Amino acid sequence: MLTLRAVHASYGPIKAVRGIDLEVHKGEIVCLIGGNGAGKTTTLMAVSGIVKPDAGSLFFKGECLNGVPAHEVVRRGICQVPEGRRIFPALTVQENLEMGAFLRTKDFSRNRERVFTLFPVLKDRKNQLGGTLSGGEQQMLAVGRALMANPSLLLLDEPSLGLAPIMASKIFRTIREINEEGVTILLVEQNAKAALKLSHRGYVIENGTIALQGRGADLLENEEVKRAYLGE
């Protein structure tokens, strides 16, 4: 579904991504793990068209994504949930969901029901301002808002960041449910253990390149991964 070949990306003189090759197949959950500043977020941003790659190519469903503007990437079926939630705090839950649906107005009711089934708390709070929700609820709203565009590939950047463990577990369970409904997922996570348990496959990114890759279950048993990322 998604292929990156030798992708490089930088911010002025800072080379954030240095030749990433990766693949995500339809129906998979794939995670990117790695330390701070390894290049995980930049990789997602290159896919969503927010960061322009310096070199390399990106393909989604067989079509080239290079040079495609971010709004057109969404229209093609890729939605990103950014790190730090970034919902609209001064808009209600309902209005936040409407913002996510600006390209899909015709399926609005069906998509909203699906989001409310996944996250009943959002239905209960649909008239509440986004900024007054708890951190976990804001993360649910950020994921729900992305689902309103009915993506076939969902990019999730650190969905568990800053959440209490019980809320993080709820988010991880919901990611699996969303995947089981047919949405392919590319996930960036600091919580390597939870991410690898959830994912079919994973990539370890170090200094802007892929250091290791494999099935989630195999990476959990990898000695290097255990030492560097699982604290074992």
Catalog residues that contact ligand ATP under the rule CB under 6 A: 11, 14, 16, 34, 36-42
Between strands 184-188 and 153-157, the pairing is: parallel
Q: Please list, in sequence order, all residues whose beta carbon lies within 8 angstroms of the beta carbon of residue 65, skipping any fewer than 6 positions away.
A: 47, 49, 58, 59, 73, 76
Between residues 40 and 145, which has the closer beta carbon with respect to ligand ATP? Answer: 40
Between residues 2 and 17, which has the closer beta carbon with respect to ligand ATP? Answer: 17
Minimum distance of ligand ATP from residue 208's CB (angstroms): 7
CB of 21 closer than 8 Å to CB of 210: yes
Q: Fill in the DSSP letter of residue 122.
A: H
Minimum distance of ligand ATP from residue 14's CB (angstroms): 5
Between residues 11 and 109, which has the closer beta carbon with respect to ligand ATP? Answer: 11
Task: Identify the three-state secondary structure at position 23.
Answer: strand
Between residues 17 and 97, which has the closer beta carbon with respect to ligand ATP? Answer: 17
Minimum distance of ligand ATP from residue 205's CB (angstroms): 6
Minimum distance of ligand ATP from residue 34's CB (angstroms): 5
Between residues 83 and 137, which has the closer beta carbon with respect to ligand ATP? Answer: 83
94 closest CA partner among 129, 118, 61, 48: 129
- The β-bridge partners of 73 are none
Minimum distance of ligand ATP from residue 125's CB (angstroms): 29
- The β-bridge partners of 31 are 187, 202
Query: How many Å is the Cα radius of gyration of the chain?
Result: 17
> What phi-psi label fits residue 184: left (phi over 0), alpha (psi between -120 and 50 degrees) or beta?
beta
